Amino acid sequence: MKKVLLFLANGFEEVEAVTPIDFLRRAGVQVTTVGIGGNRIEGAHGIVIEADTSLADFYTSTGPEDGDDYDGIICPGGMPGAANIAAEDRILSMIEDYNRQGKIVAAICASPGVILAGTTVLDGRKATCYPGFEKHFGASTEFSTERVVVDHNIITSRGPGTSAEFSIELIRAFTDDKTAEAVKNGTIQNI
């Protein structure tokens, strides 16, 4: 079974976090939510989620490998949620490490411009983000207005309205086309 980390920080965009969690779990992917600053995390619209673990506990329990037994990382958007994740050097280092290993690094909405652009993972890659956040992309990043962009192991998406499409591509990346199509049809997605 594939294992994925999804980071939550106060101010996250709720639909961009809950949709991937829900869809990936439907597909049999183990999603571990990691809360920045504790387990109880409040979204940008006042919805509170209890994370599976806090960032501090995650690092204590995983030891020096910093989660090497996971297959990917997902960063929902929302502000200041994305900025709160980006302020964690340990997460930025993990993103760099996962990219070097060819593991999935996924971000939606503000997160590609706020989190991923603060690393080297978008260098020479094609990516998308919430309108206006592309100004943070480096000169070698090709900005796209596509709703979801898959460039090798990097998956980016535009915003709340693309959360289902983003989640289906995540399933495709972590499992296979058949599982992605089953979840897409089971959730009545017209994408």
pLDDT at 190 over 90: no
pLDDT at 68 over 90: no
pLDDT at position 61 = 73
12 touches 33 (CB < 8 A): no
Of 152, 110, 162, nearest to 135 (Cα)? 110
pLDDT at position 60 = 83
Rounded CA-CA distance 153/96 in Å is 12
User: Model confidence over 16-52: pLDDT tens digits?
Assistant: 999 999 999 999 999 999 999 999 999 999 999 999 9
The CA–CA distances, whole Å, from 84 to 35, 100, 127 equal 11, 23, 21
pLDDT at 122 over 80: yes
36 touches 59 (CB < 8 A): no
Domains assigned to the chain: 3-109+164-182 (3.40.50.880)
User: Model confidence over 123-177: pLDDT tens digits?
Assistant: 999 999 999 999 999 999 999 999 999 999 999 999 999 999 999 999 999 999 9
Q: How far is CA 141 from the centre of its chain?
A: 18
pLDDT at 62 over 80: no
Cβ atoms within 10 Å of 79's Cβ, excluding its own = 17
Instruction: Tell me the DSSP string of 68-81.
Output: TT--EEEE---TTH
Task: Name the residue with higher pLDDT: 189 or 145.
Answer: 145
Strands 104-108 and 30-35: unpaired
Take residue 27 and report the two structure tokens written for it. 């597909």
Instruction: Name the DSSP class of 77.
Output: -
Of 98, 144, 135, nearest to 120 (Cα)? 98
pLDDT at position 59 = 85
pLDDT at position 64 = 44
